[in-house]
Amino acid sequence: MNTGFLTIYWRDMLRFVRFRTLLFASLVQPALWLAFFGIAMSNNFDRLTATLPVLPGIRAVDYLTFIGAGVIAMTTLFTSLFGGTVLLFDKNWGLMRETLSSPIPRIHIIIGIGLSGMTKSFIQASVILGFGLLLGVQFFEGYSLMQLLVSLLGIMLFVGVFSLGFLFLSAAIAISMESPEGMQAVITLLTMPFFFTSNALYPVSSFPPLLRALSTINPLTHLVNGIRYFAIGNDFSAIGIHYVYTQSEILVSFLALLAFAGIMFLIARWRFSKVTVT
């Protein structure tokens, strides 16, 4: 059995761990973002919504809890989109030529990079979850131990599938580009629409029809739905809006992420089959 993808995986993870500055920044930055932006915005939104009527029998969560799921999703998006950058550096430094000429099937390069990026996303999501609970994020309130374990598994399942999809997309972009600057420009161009047409920071019910339609097909929206369902619950209110998630809706969100990951994998595989590195 060819396990070349494990070599790619361990090589990228070793590089991630050994570059202490990169490791520190990738773990601390999302926590600081939640601490500063989340708390500041939470105070503003909580003050603005303090006069809104409370829905009887419905659990009300503050904006910090609402945005906590969005920060996890946002971090996963950024990490995954930039995950393929290592392939571009390998390509420019001549390492990709050696890898492509080795007996390792090209598909294993995609799988190895995808698994390493997914592992990084798991680590970052865990850090944000733990740090958010320290800040007062109301995740997993009233959950039993079994419910907590199932919820953590569900969150990581959503994060894993989502990250794979964008890592495959990032790998396809990286192998097609010639310069880091060009790749950074493309990724930045992609990041803004995905982020701001999602429900990560605010409800989409007040969006114009076009943006609302884009939100429904946005993978980031489906990731946030899954995280909020498992971390907060299926019935709660936030920012004066009543949220109800059914199991069928969450299943549809998960299947949408699976479909997105599958399509991105096929695109990455096609790009790698056509590439020639000299």
For 146-194, what is each residue's pLDDT tens digit? 999 999 999 999 999 999 999 999 988 888 877 777 888 888 888 888 9
Most confident of 20-34, 68-82, 245-259: 245-259
Q: Which runs of E-coded beta strand occur in 17-107?
A: 59-60
SS3 of residue 254 by DSSP: helix
Which residues lie closer than 8 Å to 167 by C-beta, 6 or more apart? 80, 83, 84, 113, 114, 117, 118
Q: For residues 195 and 224, which has the higher predicted lDDT (pLDDT)?
A: 224
For residue 168, give the nearest of 227, 78, 84, 57 by alpha carbon: 84
Confidence class for position 143, pLDDT limits 50, 70, 90: very high
Which H or E run contains 100?
Answer: helix 95-101
Most confident of 55-59, 135-139, 256-260: 256-260
Per-residue burial over 18-27, b = 16 or more CB atoms within 10 Å of its CB, e = otherwise: eeeeeeeebb
Most confident of 20-24, 25-29, 69-73, 81-85: 69-73
